Every structure is written in C-alpha cells, then in structure tokens.
Structure 1
C-alpha cells in the first residue's frame, strides 16, 4: 500500500482556503503531488498548477508544453510564469533560480490562497546538510517547515515526511509520465553533488539517514520557534512602536548571546534574510559600548542601512533615505502629490488641520527644507526654529531632510505629517491634513 494518500494534503489545508496553487515543474515529485491533489474532488476546481520557466534550459518550453498536456488530462487549471533567473553579483545560480521562482509564486497568492510544494524528506535532509556545511545557525538547521506564511497566503509541503522512494513507487504504480532535468546530473551544483555523490555513500553506512536527519531538523525547528517567541516578547519591550527603533539601553541588559538572538530577530522582522555573524557582531559592539558611548553605526545590509539616533538603532531601506529637493506646485483637484524621493503626499479630509478655505483660496506649493525656517504652533507661545521642533519631537536627522514643507501663497503652513502653523490651523471645521508616506502607501513614513 502506498504511503501517499490524499490526506497528506487535506490535513494541511486550512478551512476556507480559496485558490490552491501547485508549483509544477513536470518532474517526478511535483507530478506525483499534482496527481494526488487532482484526485481530491472538492479540491480540483480550486487547483492551479504553475510552471515557472526560468529560461535556463533549452528544453524549458517543451517541458512547459508537457506540463500543460498533463494538466489537461487531469482536468486541472494550468499557468506558465516566465521569470528572469540570471544570478546577480555574489549570488549563485541555484540561489538565483530559487529566489526568482519564489518571487513569481509569491506574487500570485492573494489572502486565503495556498501554495503546494513537493519537497520531501530527502530534500529536507539535503537542505539541513547544506546549511550545516555553510555554518548556519539554529533557524537554518531547522530546514524547511511543513507550513509557513508566504506572501499574502500560506505555503504547504505535504510530502515533507515522505521519502523519494515512496514518491517513485507511487508514480510507477500510477503510470505517471514526468520529465527529467539533465542538469540534475551535474555535480557543479552543491545540492546535486551532495545528492549524487555524498548521500548515497552515507546511506550505505546509515540507511535511515533521511529519517534521522529530518528528525534533527524538527528538533532544531522546535527550539528555533521557542527562541523566536522569546525574542518577540523582548522586542515588544525594546522597540519603539512608532519608529521601529530598538533601544540600546534595553539591549545592554541582555547577555551577549541573548542580544545576538534579539538583534537577528529584529532585522528579520524587516523582511531581511537572517544576517551574518559579522553584522550581528558589529551591532552588538554598539550595545556593549554602553548608553551614550556608542557612535552612530554605518552598517549596510541587504539594501538597508542601520542608523543610530538617541540611543536607538534604526533599520532604514537605503532607497528611503533620499533627500527631498523639489519645489512643486500642488494642483488644486489632486488629492495626491508624488515626490521625487520615493514618497508622496496625500490630502485627506479631517476635523482639524489646515482650513479648507485657506487651502482652496491659496496657491499650494511644496518645498524642500532650506534651513532657518520658523513655525508658530497652535496654542504655543512664540515662533520656534524647525530644527528645535524636530529635536523636541525626536525626529531622526535623516527624516528631517526627507519631509517636505507645505506653503500657502508662499507662507509656511505645515510640515507634512507633523505640524500645522497657527495661522493656517482650524478645528471643528472642514479641514485638510497632509499625510507623508512611501509611494507604496504603507502609512505615514514617521510611523514605519
């Protein structure tokens, strides 16, 4: 009796899931998964097989056509997605292809959608061994999870506790037809070298290696999740909810090992890959220097910069650090004004802010900070230099050069997203507020 049963899939599917995508290469593993999923009557109508064409093989188009025919026979919807899998500087071809594939698949998923992957127990063993050879930490040694968040949806691996042999037996018993990628025989790739040369030798001595290594991965995964839960609780105490800066004084109370765990978890929370030990060591140096002694770090990581301000560390996308240098007129009908530094302004209706009467009568312009500007705030005596207001409010220096100033008929009326001048202020009336945000529309940039 085959160990491949539809319940491998159904027990993982969350209730109420909508479209179920299946990453389908046409190879043995993914074809067996597709065949099994198509046998589930109430799933077939929601199932979409996706062939990702990396363009790296001359036969890729033919494989795509093979996949199309197989899906037609099984009565399953089919899609082809073309990707650019060219490796970037410092990136290996395997990693480049994987990232391109996952990026394309991630973009398909909407809320409540699911992606099925056919990785199995032997793949898990290879992944853990590769991570071990690369000096990975606990999270890397946990291997691949059976279930994980993915884009807006969920990624599931129903075969993760199934051996490659069991999948082959199922395919032969059901007369399945699949394609063989000749590049799988090339030992130029690390995983292929491990699979073709090393693992067979290891299995001669330890036949159940795939089971025992997978069990170790499960133990590491459990320990990693416990550490993550602990780090998340610590981060709730140490991270400024508005600005996402992490407190150096709080970190200094942790042990060196605890500090490393928390810093790594903090950075992963920005969508970054787990940082190297060198990055964590450089950040830990800021902590060990003690409050008031750490110099602002200049650390670059995966397109972001780590910046220090007022005894906090901030992780800022490098693209979000561009100064605003424009001098723009805001067209009257437009509720949104795009800036040239990756941000935009939105005019929203409110019960307090700039009076609509002022706005509608005036020429509205948006300018960069020149220095020396003063502002009188509502209910506060005297005019104050903008520099002083920024300092009082704890606005980081890099953000002060990004936020534009709003003028009505050439007179400073507001600092986008922060303050409105007393002369332009109105309350309990028809008003506008000006919100400053990234072009992606993820909320006021000060609160990210």
Structure 2
C-alpha cells in the first residue's frame, strides 16, 4: 500500500510533464511530508528542479518552530526550500480559514514561472470533507465537484496527485519510512467547520459506511463531469452573447436566454474574469435588476471583490472602484514629466519626450495638474469642431457614467488641455499624455485619439 504514494507522484509528473521546476507545498504535516519524500524519491521523473515552499501564516506562536522543522527536513533530503511568512491577522466578520486559504494560494502562485508545477498533498479524505462542506453550503455542481485534480495557478499549474489515496495510506507511508512530522494542535479544535466534520461527524458516518471517503470522492468526480458539460454549453452561449466591448456581455442577448442558461453564462463569465462567484441572491439581482433596467440607468450589484454594472447594451464586471473622495489633484514636477503616477491605482500618464515638447509648447502657468470629477468644463477636440462639454465628450466616446469621475483631466493653470484617453483640447495647443495602466484597459473603453 505505501508504495502507491511514490507511484502516484511519479504518474502525476509524467502526465503533466512540467517544463520548469516542480514545487511541493510543504506544511510539515503528515500528508505533505509523505508527498515531499515521495517526490524526492521520484525526482528523476521531473525535468526541472524539485523545490519546496512552506507557508508560515503567523497565526500560531509555534509557527517559527514549524518553519525550522521544514528547513531541517528539506536540508536532510537535499531539496531547496522557500519559507514565506504571511503574518495574517483576523479580519472582523471574515472567515479566518478562508482568509488564510486565499493568502496561501496567492503565495504559492507567486513563486511559479511558466511551465512550473505546484504539488499539494490533498487526499481522498480531504476531498470527501470538501464535498460535505459544499453540500452544507448549498453549492451547485461546480462547488460539489470539490477540488480538481489539476488547475491553473499563477503562471504554472496546481496538481493534486494524492486525491485517490486515503489519509491512512499517507500516515502508514511516513511511519514506514521513519519520517517525522508536525502535529498542528489546531487540527483538534472543532471551531473550524472542516475540523468539526473531520473529528466529530465523519467518524460517525464511517462506522455505518466504511467506504465513505471513496464514495463521496466518486460523487465529486461525477459532479466535476457535470460541471464540465455545463461550462461547455455556457462557453458556446457566452460567445453568442459577446458585448460591444472586450470582456463585456450583451444585455439583449443575455435577456433572450432561458434563466438557467443565463445563470450558467454569468457564472462562467465571472469565473473567467477572475472574480469570486456571487451567491444566489446577488446572481438573482443581476437577472432581475440589472438586465431589465433602462439603457440609461446605472444599476449596480456588488459583492466581495466584484461590481457588475451596465452601460447602454453592455454588462461589465470590474473590481470595486475607489471612492471618488479619495482622488486628489496631482501636480506634475517642474517642466513636462515623462510619467506622472495617478492616485488610487488609476495608472499613470505618459507625456511625449519632454525635450521635444518644450521646443514647441510653453507652460505659462507652470507644470500641468491632473484633476478628477471637475464639472462645467468645455473642450474643442478638433480645430473645426464646436466646443463640447465633458458630458458630451464622454457620451460620444462611450464612457459609462460610473467611470467618468475617474478620468484624469489635465489642466494648465485653470485651462483644460486634455481629457486622458479621449482627446486633447485643440485650442490649448498642448500634447495629450497617454493614459496607461488603468484598471479598465482590457475593456477597450479608453482609446487616445490624436485629433
């Protein structure tokens, strides 16, 4: 039985064929100790280097000792290790378990380069617990699919080679090899949902159904197949629902879909754009409030890390906007700067070569300033055009109302000389800076026009 552990790791390495390095997420516990030892025994099956990474969440006073233990183990078997200290603190109202998990995966993703693999030691019992948790949360088929055997992670891939092995097999392996491991005392606490299932519920179920973990893992596999089919259908429908802007969905096309198919499209769309999926209530609000709203309305459905909005016939999903009150006037350094960083993650403005601009442009009122949300301004975008209000310019350029307070307005003194991403004001006779690195570049909303 214990020989199955290296065999499963070797099979994963052959199947996924990393072209870069192979990493092992090493907590120092029983399962990851078995995985690291087995990977070291079959390191020749991976073309790159074998490395380990230990995540110190900083949530237990003994965590530095655990990091030292992991270093000693890796030194003993000749595997380089990276120790990443997160120093997490509980956030009121947030699940500490979920916060730690998200931070852990971000740290794992950060070390991966293209072609790298990250192996984790999740086993059959972990999979069964994940399915039970998903059932208790009322999850759909994607949640009931539990943990996938492999998935994208950062620039590389995450692989779980031990999902078909029960925890007892891994325990037998580390004992038979004479390995030492860490016992995290928090694993005995039933305060966390997973620990409660593992320590109090699953043992009772296993008395009646000895093959519980294998059976539940098989059910998770069936749900994964169903989720794959749902995503295939949703992907085809999503292509037919493409909006006028990259990454957006068309309101009319979505509205023509049957409700369950529309839900599937929205979930796939949000997942592909990297957002956490909404719960049933927020998804229903998108269907019932945003899609049927007037074309000139400004509906918003928001949840953690995501805002869904519409503009005209397009549906957008974007990261939460900073409060407009947080935006401040930015004055450029003396002269014409090549680059000016904007506040609140709004990117930067890049001017043409400063020396060339200085030859044909004077700044009688000193260096330019950048303002946000200024009203009552007008601009002549072309030499023979009439002056336009900012509202007119935004409407003509197709800039949603909810983004307009974040568009940098460039002034020389009190004169508006450019609307970043839209146009320069012709009669101001100044060069327009390029607006780079803003959060909406992939939506194609702002395109500098040289009029």
Same fold (TM over 0.5): yes
2:195 is aligned with 1:196 = no
- Taking the aligned partners of 1:49 and 1:109, their CA distance within structure 2 comes to 12
Q: CA deviation at 1:210?
A: 1.7
| Selected match of 2:49 from 21, 31, 46 | 46
Deviates more, 1:207-216 or 1:67-76: 207-216
Q: Which residue of 2 aligns with 1:429?
A: none
- Taking the aligned partners of 2:428 and 2:158, their CA distance within structure 1 comes to 51
Q: CA deviation at 1:295?
A: 4.9
Q: Which residue of 1 aligns with 2:435?
A: 436
Q: Which residue of 1 aligns with 2:348?
A: 345
Q: Which residue of 1 aligns with 2:389?
A: 385
Contact 1:248 1:313 in 2 (8 A): yes
Deviates more, 1:333-342 or 1:392-401: 333-342
- Taking the aligned partners of 2:330 and 2:84, their CA distance within structure 1 comes to 42
2:317 is aligned with 1:315 = yes
Please give the secondary structure, in 1, of the residue aligned with 2:347.
strand
2:142 is aligned with 1:139 = yes
RMSD: 3.0
| Selected match of 2:226 from 217, 223, 241 | 223
Q: Which residue of 1 aligns with 2:417?
A: 413
Q: Which residue of 1 aligns with 2:66?
A: 63
2:445 is aligned with 1:446 = yes
Q: CA deviation at 1:28?
A: 0.9
Q: Which residue of 1 aligns with 2:26?
A: 24
Q: CA deviation at 1:279?
A: 0.3
Q: 1:434 to 1:320 in 2, by over 3 A?
A: farther
- Taking the aligned partners of 2:116 and 2:335, their CA distance within structure 1 comes to 41
After superposition, give the CA deviation of every residue in 1:61-111 in whole Å (9 maximum; x if it has no partner): 222222111111110011221113333232223223222322222222233
Query: Unaligned regions of 5+ residues in structure 2, if any?
Result: none
Please give the secondary structure, in 2, of the residue aligned with 1:25.
coil
Q: CA deviation at 1:34?
A: 0.3
Question: 1:116-195, aligned counterparts within 5 Å?
Answer: 116-195=119-198
Q: 1:373 to 1:23 in 2, by over 3 A?
A: same
The aligned length equals 437
Q: 1:435 to 1:234 in 2, by over 3 A?
A: farther
Deviates more, 1:303-312 or 1:217-226: 303-312
- Taking the aligned partners of 2:257 and 2:280, their CA distance within structure 1 comes to 18
2:116 is aligned with 1:113 = yes
Q: Which residue of 2 aligns with 1:36?
A: 38
Query: Unaligned regions of 5+ residues in structure 1, if any?
Result: 427-431
Q: Which residue of 2 aligns with 1:374?
A: 378
2:398 is aligned with 1:398 = no
Please give the secondary structure, in 1, of the residue aligned with 2:38.
helix
2:36 is aligned with 1:13 = no
Contact 2:249 2:315 in 1 (8 A): yes
Q: CA deviation at 1:440?
A: 7.4
Q: Which residue of 2 aligns with 1:304?
A: 306
After superposition, give the CA deviation of every residue in 1:26-58 in whole Å (9 maximum; x if it has no partner): 111100100011113444972221221222333
Q: 1:136 to 1:441 in 2, by over 3 A?
A: closer
Q: CA deviation at 1:359?
A: 6.2
- Taking the aligned partners of 2:98 and 2:145, their CA distance within structure 1 comes to 18
Q: 1:397 to 1:408 in 2, by over 3 A?
A: same
Q: 1:357 to 1:185 in 2, by over 3 A?
A: closer
- Taking the aligned partners of 1:272 and 1:402, their CA distance within structure 2 comes to 22
- Taking the aligned partners of 1:105 and 1:15, their CA distance within structure 2 comes to 16
Q: 1:359 to 1:123 in 2, by over 3 A?
A: farther
- Taking the aligned partners of 2:48 and 2:328, their CA distance within structure 1 comes to 53
- Taking the aligned partners of 2:106 and 2:100, their CA distance within structure 1 comes to 10
Q: 1:29 to 1:210 in 2, by over 3 A?
A: same
Contact 1:120 1:163 in 2 (8 A): yes
Q: Counting strand residues as a fraction of each chain, which structure ranks higher?
A: 1
Q: 1:245 to 1:331 in 2, by over 3 A?
A: farther
Please give the secondary structure, in 2, of the residue aligned with 1:307.
strand
- TM score, norm. by length of structure 1: 0.87
Q: Which residue of 2 aligns with 1:89?
A: 92
- TM score, norm. by length of structure 2: 0.86
Q: CA deviation at 1:413?
A: 3.3
